[in-house]
Amino acid sequence: MKKFINGKVYVDKNTFVQAFAVEDGKFKAVGSNEEIKKFPGEEIDLEGKTVLPGIIDSHLHLKTMGETLVQLRLYNSKSIDEVIQRGQDYLKDHSDIKFIYGRGWNQDYFVEGEKRFVNRHDLDKISTEIPIIAERVCVHILACNSKALELLDIDENTTIEGGEIYKDEDGKLLGVFAENATEIVRNLVPKDTKEDVQEKFIAGVNHALSCGLTSVQSCDVYMTDDWDPIHGAIEELYMEKKVPLRYYPHFNMSTLDKIKEYVEKIYKREGVYDDTYQRGAIKLFKDGTLGARTALMSKPYNDDPSTKGIEAMTNEYVDSVCAFADQEGIRVVTHCIGDEAAKRVVESYGKVNHENNPNRNGIIHLQITDRPLLERIAELNINATYQPIFLEYDITTVRDRVGDEMASTSYAHHTLRNVLGAHTAYSTDAPVEDLNPFPCMYSAVTRQRVNGEPEGGLYPNERVSVEDAIDCYTIEGAYTEGNEEIKGRIKPEYLADFIILDRDIFTIDAKDIKDVKVEETFISGESVYKKN
């Protein structure tokens, strides 16, 4: 047994203790120093530091997060010229490379030159000899160069259901693809070996542990018919006990038949799953993103009345998946950013939700909403997985995209949880944003960008307390998995997942929450990361 004493240990809202004991991977007891010291075993002095339950990120892409640590990084590029320069520099450093795959550009962050999507003409300035793919930060839009276009079996007349292939003013292919159309381009990317997948996944795991994550709900098998190599490589790491991070997969297949195949071959197996490696949930995509104007809206975009976005899946298809999942007792989570996408998915869930949503069907993102939609979500007990960190970018665009009235009821972090009583969990959607939870908590608490704008926060009535932000990253994340009785709190018999912080998140100025660092991360009572 280990006894951790002299800490500020968060137990619940307005409830702290000094100490706790850990035995056999679980919390044995929590209480005062005197109470815990009575137990036998080693004493560890927390030296007054703040302790939280382990962070649960309820939606990210862990393998892809690891991948971004080694590929062409285009995040925070200030112009198209900078995208080109980064690509040229990357090619110089990897002169023997046969394919460049980059990610992270965002035209709304361009402050020099044109403020538009990257296209083939830009990427041709990096190389016309090897294929290049450069994904927008949201991964719902990508650009490719002329060499990549040559390898695609398409022309100006090609159409993709649920996707868009962009053309220039002369009707020529621009090398820009949105939503389902991106998959035909991604098929060009050389397949990872098992060792490649594992290397990238472990890089993502190590980064997650350093940021205080002890559990993730991760979509690593998605939009593909060839799911087994990725799944098998990740599963092998867990079967060989090489990874401590708790893993709950979101698996996304291209057809219902593929979902059924996965369920029969993988999901239903016995003797494989435990508290660390779990069965997971079916992941669907109903629409695109706000930044790319592909999120499905009920009304035309305020700053582009020619479009309402893109519906990536029909209502009938979502209905069919939900019916199958309900029959099998499997959770479904669906990407919905536009209000119309969410309304349609709520309709689908409503057909199978039964009493109190026992399968914990949920909506991921849920950015653009009106009050009736929020009320219906709460009524059906549909859980929402929010990414407050998205406000860092969307504060600059949401009013332009949807107008003031709709914007005022969107990103409803306080209303949905504290007024309407729905379950809301937090995540980062890494690598769309970094998986560090503390900038995300800062966004939820302040409704401001990291530069402090706007003063008072965007629609400050939707700000949440520090305790709310922590709970949405711990016990609410556990609830989405159906694990709220075994993790997400520091209490007896719960899994001993916890983190030690470098400062007191409860008393520091809100502007400093984004700078909180993790000194040590524990899973099942064992240290899995310690800051140097």
> Is the CB of residue 466 less than 8 Å from the CB of residue 443?
no
Question: What is the per-residue pLDDT across 364-389, written as a single tens digit (0 to 9) for each?
Answer: 999 999 999 999 999 999 999 999 99
- The correct CATH number of 2-53+492-530 out of 2.170.190.11, 2.30.40.10, 1.20.1280.290, 3.40.50.620 is 2.30.40.10
**What's the pLDDT at 374?**
98
Counting runs of H as helices and runs of E as strands, what totals does the chain give? 18, 24
Whether the Cβ atoms of residue 133 and residue 143 lie closer than 8 Å to each other = yes
> Which of the residue ranges 225-234, 317-326, 496-505 would you say has the lowest mean pLDDT?
225-234
The mean pLDDT value for 48-60 works out to: 98
> Residue 68: its pLDDT value, please?
86
Query: Residue 317's pLDDT band (boundaries 50, 70, 90)?
Result: very high
Measure Cα distances from 85 to 89, 121, 125, 466 in Å.
6, 14, 9, 41
- pLDDT band at 192; cut points 50, 70, 90: confident
Q: Is the pLDDT of residue 226 over 90?
A: no
By CB neighbour count within 10 A (0-12 exposed, 13-18 middle, 19+ buried), where does 184 fall?
middle
Q: What is the pLDDT of residue 168?
A: 95
How confident is the model over 446-458, as a mean pLDDT?
A: 97
Pairing mode, strands 163-167 and 173-179: antiparallel
- The confidence band for 513, taking pLDDT boundaries of 50, 70 and 90, is very high
pLDDT over 90 at 523, yes or no: yes
Say how far apart CA 234 and CA 230 lie, in whole Å.
Answer: 6
Query: What is the percentage of the chain residues whose pLDDT exceeds 70?
Result: 99
CB atoms within 10 A of CB 255: 11
Mean pLDDT of 501-508: 98
Q: Which helix (H) or strand (E) holds 500?
A: strand 498-501
Q: What is the dihedral of CA 440, 198, 361, 445, to 10 degrees?
A: -10
- Lowest mean pLDDT across 18-27, 216-225, 338-347: 216-225
DSSP 506: T
Residue 495, token pair as written in the block: 């899994």
Instruction: Indicate the range of 73-77, 167-171, 226-230, 259-263 predicted with least confidence.
Output: 226-230
The pLDDT of residue 229? 85
Residue 223 pLDDT exceeds 80? no
What is the architecture, at CATH level 2, of domain 66-186? Roll (3.10)
User: Is the pLDDT at 227 greater than 90, yes or no?
Assistant: no
Q: How far apart are CA 10 and CA 17, in angstroms?
A: 7
Tell me which of 67-71, 437-441, 501-505 is least confident: 67-71
In sequence order, which residues have a C-beta less than 8 Å from that of residue 41 and are 6 or more positions away? 1, 2, 3, 21, 23
pLDDT of residue 228: 77
Calculate mean pLDDT across residues 473-491: 98
Predicted TM-score (pTM) above 0.85: yes
Please, what is the angle between helix 228-239 and helix 194-210, to 10°?
60
Start and end residues for every CATH 2.30.40.10 domain found in the chain: 2-53+492-530
Give the model's confidence band at 178: pLDDT under 50 very low, under 70 low, under 90 confident, else very high: very high
Residues of the chain with CATH 3.10.310.70: 66-186
Pair 66, 204: CB distance under 8 Å? yes
- The whole-number average pLDDT for the span 343-353 is 97
* pLDDT classification of 224: cutoffs 50, 70, 90: low
pLDDT for 109-154, tens place per residue? Answer: 899 999 999 999 999 999 999 999 999 988 889 999 999 999 998 9
Give the mean pLDDT of the chain: 96
For residue 378, what pLDDT is reported?
98
